[in-house]
A and B are shown apart, each in its own frame.
Chain A
Amino acid sequence: MPIVINGVATEVPPDPRVSLLDLLRERLTMTGTKKGCNQGACGACTVLADGERILSCLALAVQYDGRRITTVEGLSENDTLHPLQQAFVEHDGFQCGYCTPGQICSAIGMVAEANRGAPCHVTADLAEETVVLTREQIRERMSGNLCRCGAHNGIVEAIAATYGDGAS
């Protein structure tokens, strides 16, 4: 079974050492997904596997045979940005932009987790299954994505404006 990347079926490379990140960037020249630390510490390589956010640098491509992968290139529809991409523009959610694809994919995965009631470290009551995405919640749930420019305030605002407790 192939890996389906943004709706396009791709054969798994024969060398099992190839990470999902290197498959995307080096073999498919899909350079939207970024290589930051390449050791699972920064979140720049975050993609969605069947809707769940994962780190593509620690994922062997061969393990994702048969799975559906969504990268930042798969979020917009034709020339229309995904609402969260647009919000990052409007709220200064980046400076250099290197962490941005990972931030955006991570946030989309994060919202799915929150919508099904997944707890996080700042969840006050574990029995409560409705998550309200306060800024505190967003910061904790997004802590796996680092921004060395320090655009975290804009990132949190962009996510809050799109999905948070004050979102329209």
Chain B
Amino acid sequence: MRPFTYARAADAADAVRLADGGRARYLGGGTNLVDLARETVERPEALVDVTGLSTAIEEIGGGLLIGAAARNAAVAEHRAVRTRYPALARAIVAGASAQIRNMATVGGNILQRTRCAYFYDDGSRCNKRRPEQGCDAIEGFNRGHAVLGASAACVATHPSDMCVALAAFDATVHLRNADGERTLPITDLHRLPGNRPDLDTVLEPGELITAVELPALALAASSAYRKVRDRASYAFALVSVAAAIEVTDGIVSDVRIALGGVAHKPWRAWTAEAALRGGPATAERFRRAAEEELASAVALRHNAFKIELAERTITTVLTDLAGEQP
């Protein structure tokens, strides 16, 4: 690990000041950044510890405001999250291990880097690690890589489970930098790789995530998260689906679907949602909507299975949810 300085931020304004326009990196629980620094994939010169910032989970306009320093485990354990946004609690407990969930913060989970093995391996070419170097994943072992929204420069996936549920629920992130504050839908925070895969998000240098806001969303109370992975526990998703659906007289009145494990960002299934709204809530319609969502998918050598797996998982989750409606 290369040398770096360490400072602990007293509050959000202090953190932004210490980060000095991006010269320093924000440090949450360290579960990703410490590992990457040890591998010299990340080479921070200065760290600003933001674990002392707000960990509160509080009511806001019928929704919830979650401080960015809240630990993943604390969010999954929170009564309002469990009852009003169960897919979020499910997504969190499906991710990593209990020890990591105790350490990792909400802000850090959102900003974690891909687990693409070529990104981690300094002996491999990686456009995300070193722009314009080339990508060894595209012709390499790419079973875990993206099928949606990838580019000729990068086929990495975003590894978070939590973010998939946040994307489905139209969560917004609260941001702060030296110029002030702003909010962004989480679906607009992460980028597709294009020709700049080194940029995971649209955050400005030094910009800090201070909180995540879950809007009031009645149908989220019966939401589901399903994660398909190689092991029963403690493995990243091959495909995951967060969804919620509202059926009125057999018709889909509202629906939310997001996918994990398939793209450079948590993938909100806007196409499938549009295809379903106002139509009959049948397994056949769910399957056709899922196929429409995956119509633009591009398979690499080892990950073609993800396309059908995603279609089937969407179909199954929606069918189960619709079957549970009163």
Contacts and interface: CB of A to CB of B under 8 A. Distances in A.
Interface of A: 15-17, 19, 38-40, 43, 46, 52-55, 58-60, 62-63, 106, 109-110, 113, 116-121, 123, 126-127, 129, 139-141, 143-145
Contacts of A117: 77
With a 10 A CB-CB cut-off, give which of B5, B39, B49 has the most chain A CB atoms.
B49
A142 B100 CA distance: 12
A63 to B, nearest CB: 6
A33 B255 CA distance: 48
B83 A55 contact: no
Contacts of A46: 99
Nearest to A105: B99
B93 A60 contact: no
Contact of B77 (A58, A62, A118): A118
A16 B4 contact: yes
Contact of B89 (A59, A62, A119, A145): A119
A43 B99 contact: yes
A109 B98 contact: yes
Interface of B: 1, 3-6, 27, 29-31, 34-35, 37-39, 47, 49, 51, 73, 76-77, 79, 82-83, 86, 89-90, 93-94, 96-100, 102-103, 232-234
Nearest to A15: B3
A121 B233 contact: yes
B77 A60 contact: no
B320 to A, nearest CB: 14
Given A60-B34, A126-B82, A118 B73 contact: yes
Contacts of A139: 233
Closest 3 CB pairs of A and B: A144-B97, A16-B6, A143-B233
5 contacts: A17-B4, A39-B39, A60-B34, A126-B82, A126-B83
Contacts of B51: 63
Contacts of B89: 119, 126
A53 B79 CA distance: 21
Nearest to B31: A58
A54 B82 contact: no
Contacts of B98: 53, 106, 109-110, 113, 120, 141, 143-144
B38 A60 contact: no
B100 A55 contact: yes
Contacts of B76: 118-119
Contacts, number: 99
Given A16-B5, A40-B31, A118-B76, A55 B90 contact: no
Contact of B31 (A55, A126, A141): A55
A63 B5 contact: no
Contacts of B30: 58-60, 63
Contacts of A123: 93
Given A60-B6, A143-B234, A144-B234, A40 B100 contact: yes
B35 A39 contact: yes
A126 B35 contact: no
B233 A140 contact: yes
A130 to B, nearest CB: 13
Contacts of B38: 38-39
Contact of B103 (A16, A55, A62, A121): A55
Given A123-B93, A126-B86, A19 B102 contact: no
Nearest to B120: A39
A45 B96 CA distance: 16
A43 B1 CA distance: 21
Nearest to B231: A143
A40 B120 CA distance: 14
Contacts of B3: 15, 17
Contacts of B86: 126
A54 B103 contact: yes
A38 B38 CA distance: 9
A110 B6 CA distance: 31
Contacts of B49: 63
A43 B97 contact: yes
Contacts of A106: 98-99
Contacts of A62: 6
With a 10 A CB-CB cut-off, give which of B5, B76, B233 has the most chain A CB atoms.
B233
B102 A54 contact: yes
A147 B37 CA distance: 27
